[in-house]
Copies of this chain bind each other. A is one copy, B any other.
């Protein structure tokens, strides 16, 4: 049975910095990753909020290499590796396994809609068989609002039965607590690690027996989120949860990725963080000012960033 350490309870889909020409910036990326690790937050690089699908496979492999060279241990990385084409998913997953990554977060193939559980089972099975490595730990990525391809309980059950050594957990970004609760109830006793897709559900997830959360806003508010994950059984946890949710609500009032990057640019005093790749668009001046005012009102800061 796999048990997450405290340090494994909160992960962030790390935002990806781009230069003026939209190429990735590995140094700025490593610096942000180091800041997250210093705040006890793991690196779920190449998630939805990392603009992962706006990066090529080779760009992603190079960024993992850059983190490894910068001294980031593989056990603190959980790269997103799920692509529409099996060959791409296998290449990226192998690269992650080669770096000793703690796990990989795997989207289903997301172009075709209305596909069957049988087809999704074959996809994941094919990837696992091709990678063929006992150290591979797959975290399934359930994010129907974006992927439009949900992962059912029946599919999880079948995959767990076929590949108990490789199917390690799930990130549930459905935003539907009843689903998260059902997955925890059904599978967590067997060591399957269930992460909520937002810290709104962090306390509920831990109390129900889940593993923690993998959250976009852990990019900007890592310390307090990780603190709740450490102290969830202590006095005042509900108040700490409420404070996390209040801050997250501010970000939810804007397009999430541009807002995370804007906060990082503004509070880290580092302009290039504003850049996003198309089809996303950076916040305009009015949005930046509105975001900053709302965050200041909550006493928000990103201590130690850019230091």
Contact = CB atoms under 8 A, between A and B. Distances in A.
Contacts of A302: none
Tell me the dominant secondary structure on chain A's binding face.
Answer: loop
A153 interface: no
B279 A85 contact: no
A258 to B, nearest CB: 10
Contacts of A122: 278-279, 281
Contact of A54 (B59, B85, B91, B280): B85
Contact of A111 (B86, B118, B146, B278): B146
Given A278-B86, A279-B119, A146 B56 contact: no
A85 B277 CA distance: 9
A53 B147 CA distance: 14
Interface string A51-78: 0011110010000000000000000000
Contacts of A277: 86
A280 B115 contact: yes
A125 to B, nearest CB: 8
A278 B123 contact: yes
A25 interface: no
Nearest to A23: B87
A84 B54 contact: yes
Interface residues of A, number: 37
Interface string A106-129: 001111110110111011001000
Given A54-B85, A110-B110, A120-B278, 20 more contacts: A22-B86, A22-B126, A53-B84, A53-B109, A53-B111, A56-B87, A59-B85, A59-B87, A108-B279, A111-B147, A112-B146, A112-B280, A113-B146, A113-B148, A118-B281, A119-B281, A120-B279, A122-B281, A123-B279, A149-B279
30 contacts: A22-B86, A53-B84, A53-B109, A53-B111, A54-B84, A54-B86, A56-B87, A56-B88, A56-B91, A59-B85, A86-B278, A108-B279, A109-B278, A109-B279, A110-B110, A111-B146, A112-B279, A113-B145, A116-B281, A118-B281, A119-B278, A119-B279, A119-B280, A120-B278, A122-B278, A122-B279, A122-B281, A126-B278, A148-B148, A149-B279
Interface of A: 22, 48, 53-56, 59, 84-88, 91, 108-113, 115-116, 118-120, 122-123, 126, 145-149, 277-281
**6 A-B pairs closest in CB distance:** A119-B279, A123-B278, A122-B278, A53-B111, A53-B84, A115-B279
